[in-house]
Structure 1
Amino acid sequence: LFLTFKKLIRLLDSAVGGEPFFSRLASGKIDDKTVVFAGDTGRVNVAMGRRGKTPSKFGCRQEVDFNFFQAHLWREMKGKSEHIAPAVVWREIQTFIKGHRKVADSREGFLSREDYMELVGMKMNWAVRGSRDDLYDLFLSYESCKKAINGFDRMDVAFDVLRRLQQHDYKGPPIHHLYVDEVQDLAQIEAVLMMRVLPNPQAIVFVGDTCQTVSSETDFRFKDLRSCVKEIFYPTSSPEVVKELWSLLVNYRSHDGIVQASNHIVSLLEELFPMTIDKLPPAMGQNAGPPPECLNFDELSRLLCELDSKRSSRSTCLLGANQL
């Protein structure tokens, strides 16, 4: 069974005892009349104006993602600063304050100010390291704005399911194995949720690439995922019990000229931002190839001519498959 994480957590919501996070019909499906999910442009649960925000006529719950946060909530939040971008604030909230693995065992569903200051430490985004108090104040303002529109975010859903798992059993279909791809797009608390649904370290495989972290929600490192595995499955054992990462170093998609160029860029990230990326052995391409060239076209027509598949094989600068 192939599922996105969004679909998986909605299934888990209905399969764990207690009151589901989402209102359900008799069939078990989510009642669409009670919730507006992010991206549903036809139904927005909040109207913004100069006088503030008022719930819309729908009167249902509104999912908040980064786009909604930036478009509707950011300008209403108190204490925001010009030197902290909304994307940075959102990622700190989702990754650490509400997405840290320690949140799974909290009562409130988020880190206290003291825990945030202590646990995050040097892992925090270097650009806002001196603004942690301000960031936490912005988080409190965000929660207030979200509550005013009856909103929720993906960490609220994960925490609710985790909280119910502590009191009730999982009642859904048996899950024997989990293969989680693109794990770099998940927060720690979401990884913890999967480990507690399937409490067998031999039955879960996490695969991902920190260099492909494109989600606006989270910062990810495999070191943090290893800490989750250690705390969930081996809480009384030494750290060495969790094996090292198995790195897949051969790139089958690009030739070695491109791969070596990307290795140089990654090495700069490792040197300049050591706490934001996993340091892994350099990758290699399966096939040899020339190093990439920087093209400078002053006219769009010249660029289109180079990209023309019928002409590119005769071009002085080979593109794509013509390089192999």
Structure 2
Amino acid sequence: SSSIKTTNFVDYKVFQRRYWHRLNCDFDCELVYAEFSIIKGSNPEVDFLSREDYKSISIKKYPVFSYDRDRIYDLFEKYEAEKARNGHYDSIDRTLAILRLAKKKALGGPHIHEVYIDECQDNQIVDLTLILK
């Protein structure tokens, strides 16, 4: 059986319960989790932004941790390393894996002419890239 274990999936609740206490920081958990998705989900051409690229993104567009980006990036690296050690994946890992597969082989299925998305602002750029494929 080649089914994916859903117990390895990290959503916000799992992040908060299993990862947050290991990061030892004084920031808001939900804001940090959202900021990680900027590092990982804002450029579909790479798995995640480099530290330099993350530090140089627009303060107007992403203002929350504009003065703490080095600290946030350190937390991101710790989270990613721990997640890899545990064999876990999150929604952006899943989307990036599908995009990598789609680059190698065309996605099958019927051609979709229109897509309507509720709460579009809750999607990452990589999610929208996949939807538009």
Give the TM-score taking structure 1 as reference length: 0.39
Aligned with 1:187 (options 106, 109, 124): 124
Q: Runs ≥4 in structure 1, deviation > 4 angstroms?
A: none
* Match of residue 106 from structure 2: 169
Partner deviation per Cα, 1:192-249 (whole Å, 9 max, x = no partner): 1111x2xxxxxxxxxxxxxxxxxxxxxxxxxxxxxxxxxxxxxxxxxxxxxxxxxxxx
How does 1:203-214 map onto structure 2 within 5 Å? none
Q: Distance in 1 between matches of 2:66 and 2:54?
A: 12
* Match of residue 115 from structure 1: 53
Q: One-letter code of the match for 1:140?
A: E
Unpaired runs of 5+ in structure 1? 1-22, 25-30, 38-61, 198-324
Q: One-letter code of the match for 1:66?
A: Y
| Deviation, structure 1 residue 135 | 0.2
| Deviation, structure 1 residue 111 | 0.7
| Deviation, structure 1 residue 112 | 0.7
Aligned with 1:63 (options 2, 5, 9): 9
* Match of residue 143 from structure 1: 80
Q: One-letter code of the match for 1:138?
A: L
Q: Distance in 2 between matches of 1:120 and 1:154?
A: 24
Unpaired runs of 5+ in structure 2? none
* Match of residue 157 from structure 1: 94
Give the TM-score taking structure 2 as reference length: 0.89
Q: Distance in 2 between matches of 1:125 and 1:70?
A: 22
Q: Distance in 2 between matches of 1:70 and 1:136?
A: 18
How does 1:237-252 map onto structure 2 within 5 Å? none
Q: Which protein, 1 or 2, shows the higher relative CO under an 8 Å CA cutoff with sep ≥ 6?
A: 2
* Match of residue 85 from structure 1: 28
Partner deviation per Cα, 1:40-65 (whole Å, 9 max, x = no partner): xxxxxxxxxxxxxxxxxxxxxx1001
Count the aligned residue pairs: 133
Secondary structure at 2:34 match in 1: helix
Which protein is bigger by CA-based radius of gyration?
A: 1
Aligned with 1:74 (options 17, 20, 45): 20
Normalized per residue, which structure has more strand?
A: 1
Q: Distance in 1 between matches of 2:121 and 2:67?
A: 26
Give the superposed CA RMSD: 1.7
Percent identity (aligned): 32
Normalized per residue, which structure has more helix?
A: 2
Q: Distance in 1 between matches of 2:56 and 2:129?
A: 20
Q: One-letter code of the match for 1:85?
A: D
| Deviation, structure 1 residue 124 | 2.5
* Match of residue 36 from structure 1: 6
Q: Distance in 2 between matches of 1:81 and 1:185?
A: 25
Secondary structure at 2:48 match in 1: coil
Q: Distance in 2 between matches of 1:125 and 1:87?
A: 15
Say yes or no: does 1:130 pair with 2:130. Answer: no
